[in-house]
Chains A and B, each alone.
Chain A
Amino acid sequence: DSGVTQTPKHLITATGQRVTLRCSPRSGDLSVYWYQQSLDQGLQFLIQYYNGEERAKGNILERFSAQQFPDLHSELNLSSLELGDSALYFCASSVAESLYNEQFFGPGTRLTVL
């Protein structure tokens, strides 16, 4: 157990809908990262937040948005969902801002868009 929690574990929804994925980092970690893992795209970095502020942006679609709250938990919002958004979404956390710090991954949220 990495200490990073993600809810829900599984999510099934329909195209065009909007969902919110939640992540709680390890105690003491200030950075949160979001990743998407799908069969055709592999593992992709989406976005990083540090202490409430966006720090680095990867291949995140405009339909997706994220935020980190004052208590350091983070939410990833996915809207206008498409079939291709079906994937495993991981959250990871690390103690500091730099990518040189080890990231600890949560168990993931499996999103299925029907």
Chain B
Amino acid sequence: GENVEQHPSTLSVQEGDSAVIKCTYSDSASNYFPWYKQELGKRPQLIIDIRSNVGEKKDQRIAVTLNKTAKHFSLHITETQPEDSAVYFCAASGGGYQKVTFGTGTKLQVIP
């Protein structure tokens, strides 16, 4: 089955700096890659997603890049703010009606 590895497990950055979280996946059939943000004690929320026919997608300060050949994708957060502090999960699935596999999460701390 699919295996998703996520790094780093924890990340501390100064407010205003950029943060990058990386994930690799094993199943070349995976074609949908969502990212979720989970604040402490709260529910996961989708922040951005990308399909395999696209190499990059951007939404304001958040961007995701996908390298299908290397089977890895990354989340980039620019101009980080304290409210970006949370656990971020990457995920991979065959899209459509396939099951989704999550990475182990990255705890991001933005230091004011």
Binding site for B on A (CB under 8 A): 2, 42-45, 48, 55-58, 90, 97-100, 102-103, 105-108
CB distance from A38 to the nearest CB of B (A): 12
- The answer to whether B44 touches A100 (Cβ under 8 A) is no
- The answer to whether B32 touches A100 (Cβ under 8 A) is yes
CB distance from A12 to the nearest CB of B (A): 18
- The answer to whether A45 touches B95 (Cβ under 8 A) is no
**B45 in the interface, Cβ–Cβ < 8 Å?**
yes
Cβ 8 A contact of B98, one of A56, A90, A106, A107:
A56
Q: Would you give the 0/1 interface string for B41-66, flagging 1 where the beta carbon is closer than 8 Å to chain A?
A: 01111100101000000000000000
- The answer to whether A105 touches B98 (Cβ under 8 A) is no
- The answer to whether B43 touches A98 (Cβ under 8 A) is no
- The answer to whether B44 touches A43 (Cβ under 8 A) is yes
- The answer to whether A55 touches B97 (Cβ under 8 A) is yes
Cβ 8 A contact of A103, one of B46, B103, B105:
B46
Bound Cα distance A18, B24 (Å): 37
- The answer to whether B89 touches A90 (Cβ under 8 A) is no
CB distance from A109 to the nearest CB of B (A): 11
Known: A98-B95, A99-B93, A100-B95. A105 touches B44 (CB 8 A): yes
Residue of B nearest to A55 (CB): B97
- The answer to whether B43 touches A45 (Cβ under 8 A) is no
Chain A residues near B100: list those with CB within 8 A: 45, 58, 99
Chain A residues near B105: list those with CB within 8 A: 42-43
Cβ 8 A contact of A100, one of B51, B101, B102, B103:
B51
Bound Cα distance A28, B5 (Å): 34
